[in-house]
């Protein structure tokens, strides 16, 4: 509210200065032979172009029209003043033209900014011709002052235009990096659930004939995993829709507390998943650390399904020592997997996981354990 009121106050002050300067021009022209109507017409066209409210501006009133038309009208008045030696120029017309030059340099599209800027700048430099044709030295002095004013106005407008461009680029890069992060979330969530669906479907096919009474829990697990996958997909696609600024809570997230849910719903037939969480692990750790820890466990469990379907013992351990959170996932698999080749993934999960961990100043290690099995260990500074 404070910034809005200050902006409104500054705009009101600018309008007051412009109107006062235009009144001085009209007062100057009242005693001249040419009369006040040409000056009034020039001031009216230029003032309307500068002061027309943006929310009420018609579509045809583009920055090119706003700057070129008043500059041409002013130039025509200067040419016509050759027949009227008494024609003058005042601070109001000069101020309006400088405002139009600012608009041309800052807001006109790139192909037309030079043309509009030259038109307005030429109109400013031609103002002394009206009254100072017989005194070349004085006219050159006025033109030199005009060049200085043109340079200052155009330079300031160009600086603001460059700042606008930098801000646009920064916003675009931020949106791009955020969408890449959301794409990584989509991989983490949906790949986890869909891989679980594949595993449980294979188990259901094996149990269909031999153990009908044990089939219902497996089918319930498939239904639950499919529902969670669709919900994750729906949330992520909703965020990716180009609707401006999205609420932060629409993005899929995970935390330390959610790791228990991952381990509880993971175990398949003949598998045992153990979660060892030290009491020192607090639930008030930084949110980005909790989310990254959740992703480490999620990606590791997904890879167990993909590449170590024969694992019987999977251990997830969380430890918080000093200012470091350690997350590790270990299995005793030998690399056996019954999943189709297309479901094994392209190796991008661990790459994205390492980028996520290192971005937080942590370290990620993934490799075989002594004997057999695999271990993924991540350490985060807290």
pLDDT tens digits, 327-337: 999 888 876 55
pLDDT of residue 13: 74
Q: How high does pLDDT run on average in the chain?
A: 77
Domain with CATH 3.30.565.10 in the chain: 255-382
Q: Which is higher by pLDDT, 63 or 337?
A: 63
- 318-353 in b/e form (b: 16+ CB < 10 A) is bebeeeebbbbbbbbbeeebebeeeeebeeebeebb
pLDDT tens digits, 186-233: 666 666 666 666 666 656 666 665 566 666 666 666 666 666 666 666
Compute the distance between CA of residue 222 and CA of residue 73 in angstroms, rounded to an integer: 75
Compute the distance between CA of residue 112 and CA of residue 105 in angstroms, rounded to an integer: 9
pLDDT of residue 152: 94
Strand order in 272-277's β-sheet?
A: 272-277, 313-321, 324-331, 374-381, 363-368
**Dihedral sign, CA of 284, 286, 291, 293?**
negative
pLDDT of residue 229: 65
Does the pLDDT at position 253 exceed 90?
A: no
User: What percent of the chain clears pLDDT 70, i.e. is strictly above it?
Assistant: 68
pLDDT of residue 167: 84
pLDDT of residue 213: 61
What's domain 255-382's architecture? Answer: 2-Layer Sandwich (3.30)
């Amino acid at each position: 509210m404070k910034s809005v009121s200050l902006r409104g106050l500054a705009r009101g002050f600018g309008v007051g200065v412009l109107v006062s300067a235009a009144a001085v021009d009209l007062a100057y022209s009242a005693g001249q032979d040419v009369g006040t109507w040409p000056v009034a017409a020039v001031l009216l066209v230029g003032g309307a172009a500068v002061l027309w409210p943006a929310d009420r501006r018609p579509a045809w009133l583009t920055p090119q029209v706003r700057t070129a038309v008043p500059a041409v009208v002013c130039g025509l008045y200067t040419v016509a003043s050759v027949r009227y030696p008494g024609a003058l120029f005042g601070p109001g017309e000069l101020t309006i033209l400088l405002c139009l030059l600012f608009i041309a340099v800052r807001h006109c599209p790139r192909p037309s900014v030079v043309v509009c800027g030259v038109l307005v700048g030429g109109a400013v430099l031609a103002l002394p011709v009206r009254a100072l044709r017989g005194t070349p030295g004085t006219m050159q002095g006025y033109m030199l002052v005009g060049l200085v004013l043109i340079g200052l106005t155009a330079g300031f407008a160009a600086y603001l235009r460059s700042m606008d461009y930098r801000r646009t680029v920064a916003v675009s890069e931020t949106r791009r990096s955020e969408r890449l992060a959301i794409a990584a979330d989509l991989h983490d969530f949906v790949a986890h659930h869909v891989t679980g669906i594949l595993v449980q479907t294979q188990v259901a096919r094996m149990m269909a004939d031999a153990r009908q009474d044990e089939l219902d829990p497996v089918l319930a697990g498939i239904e639950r995993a499919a529902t969670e996958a669709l919900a994750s997909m729906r949330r992520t696609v909703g965020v990716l829709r180009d609707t401006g600024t999205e609420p932060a809570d629409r993005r899929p997230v995970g935390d330390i507390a959610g790791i228990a849910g991952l381990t509880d719903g993971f175990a398949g037939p003949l598998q045992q998943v153990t979660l060892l969480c030290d009491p020192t692990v607090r639930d008030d750790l930084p949110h980005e650390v909790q989310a990254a820890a959740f992703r480490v466990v999620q990606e590791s469990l997904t890879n167990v399904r993909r590449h170590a379907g024969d694992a019987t013992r999977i251990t997830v351990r969380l430890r918080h020592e000093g200012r470091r959170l350690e997350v590790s996932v270990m299995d005793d698999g030998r690399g056996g997997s019954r999943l189709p080749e297309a479901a094994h993934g392209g190796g991008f999960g661990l790459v994205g996981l390492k980028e996520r961990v290192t971005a937080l100043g942590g370290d990620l290690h993934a490799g075989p354990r002594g004997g057999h099995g695999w271990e993924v260990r991540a350490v985060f500074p807290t």
